[in-house]
Amino acid sequence: MSEIKTFPEGFLWGGATAANQCEGAYNVDGRGLANVDVVPIGEDRFPIITGEKKMFDFEEGYFYPAKESIDMYHRFKEDIALFGEMGFKTYRLSIAWTRIFPNGDEEEPNEKGLQFYEDLFRECHKHGIEPLVTITHFDCPMHLIKKYGGWRNRKMLTFYERLCRTLFTRYKGLVKYWLTFNEINMILHAPFMGAGLYFEPGEDKEQVKYQAAHHELVASARATQIAHEIDPENKVGCMLAAGQYYPNTAHPRDYWEAMKEDRENYFFIDVQARGEYPNYALKKFERENIKVEMTEEDLALLKEHTVDFISFSYYSSRVASGDPAVKEKTAGNIFESLKNPYLDASEWGWQIDPLGLRITMNAIWDRYQKPLFIVENGLGAVDTPDENGYVEDDYRIEYLKAHIKAMRDAINEDGVPLLGYTTWGCIDLVSAGTGEMKKRYGFIYVDRDNQGNGTLKRTKKKSFDWYKEVIATNGASIE
């Protein structure tokens, strides 16, 4: 029997971005200030992301890369035309909450914000591209953080529901694939970005984070309910930052530590996909005296309105050890991990593990038995363009090729159902983790540096034509 080299018919090839990393135009057409705007580049970025340092507005002495980013707000037609030229079947993007409700608690939406996304979605359809829309990709209006404390406050459910109902109603027929919260498990690692949380001295951070997580989980279930009511064609997914944990050795305590780390990540998706809190989470709350306030109505909502599919980001696998003496760490999408001696790493220390993608896909499918969608995968690298702006990014091609092969094996050899694949940062954008522009993922080079200098000119990289061929052949061009 010959090896199957193509992907399922109707497979959704594409790319992914986030509003706060590409749109810019932070104060244009009535848009309000959001948490993602006030996170600067540099060494102070991470304390703000983790909620250890407050920053409620722009301050002197910092550069805020999201203010302008790559100005896709004014250039989306040019960018979507390039995506169309590559043959994208889908484009994953996110809504900037403060374009729709500038403060977050208004009764009526901002029409200019609604019209912007309507124009963008229609432009996608003009090029045969199905929008895949993340409702909240780390965005939270600063007004809601200052006045209500972000997602720690149950009132956020009302504001989020109003946002969702507005979106589902306005874009009925234009969008059918929705994600409620990007990388929802990031609440535990980047709570300011994940849920608009900041902490006062002496505050019980775990209590606050898990209460905020509950509010987001209930909000996600309510969004799923409303989406299906407004348009039965809507498909709603959850989204996690994935990457299977490997035990550092064959010692049972390492295997147990890896299982515990996986559970911490899957906890959110267990609720969104299965409809109830898993026993291990309830025991953790009991053991650590975490008292999550939840109502019977909450629990019924979670049970009755689970997601239609599971989406996730994958950049690397991770390693865990139960031995406190084992400490050599490496980076990886906010998550630190023990270093894996068998893997190479990117320039930012993210370990490269294509087989880990296949392992992760199988683990998620085995756990949930719901269709999967890989909505982020890619290599952040320093690209050096020639005098014409052209980049020979063979390293990116090799990375993506290896991961697509692993994905293909999971589908064809393991029987894992996969709806689609959107590479991260299909056009160069601002890094969420570091705020840098030099950490590039795209098929399209954008002339901009870490301090916002440059013409913003778009130029196709070598990977542009390579990915175009992958899509045109439905994966058959990859040997």
Please indicate, yes or no, if residue 3 is contained in any of the structural domains. Answer: no
Please indicate, yes or no, if residue 306 is contained in any of the structural domains. Answer: yes
Length of the chain: 479
Burial class (CB in 10 A: 0-12, 13-18, 19+), 105: middle
Please indicate, yes or no, if residue 254 is contained in any of the structural domains. Answer: no
pLDDT digits (tens, 9 = 90+) for 250-272: 999 999 999 999 999 999 999 99
Please indicate, yes or no, if residue 255 is contained in any of the structural domains. Answer: no
Q: What's the CA angle centered on 310, arms 307 and 316, to 5 degrees?
A: 155
Confidence of residue 388 (pLDDT cuts 50, 70, 90): confident
Average of per-residue pLDDT across 243-256: 96
pLDDT of residue 392 exceeding 80, the answer is: yes
Please indicate, yes or no, if residue 111 is contained in any of the structural domains. Answer: yes
Backbone φ and ψ of 450, nearest 5°: -60, -25
For 134, the domain range is: 12-245+261-321+337-473
pLDDT digits (tens, 9 = 90+) for 400-439: 999 999 999 999 999 999 999 999 999 999 999 899 999 9
Average of per-residue pLDDT across 3-12: 90
Conformational region of residue 128, where left means phi above 0, alpha means psi within -120 to 50, and beta covers everything else = left
Please indicate, yes or no, if residue 311 is contained in any of the structural domains. Answer: yes
CATH number of the CATH domain containing 108: 3.20.20.80
Burial 40-59 (b: 16+ CB within 10 A, else e): bbeeebbebbbbeeebeeee
Please indicate, yes or no, if residue 429 is contained in any of the structural domains. Answer: yes
pTM: 0.97
Distance separating alpha carbons of residues 143 and 160, to the nearest angstrom? 14
pLDDT of residue 1 exceeding 50, the answer is: no
Backbone φ and ψ of 177, nearest 5°: -105, 120
Please indicate, yes or no, if residue 344 is contained in any of the structural domains. Answer: yes
How many distinct structural domains can be found in the chain?
1
Q: Which residues are tagged catalytic? A: 376
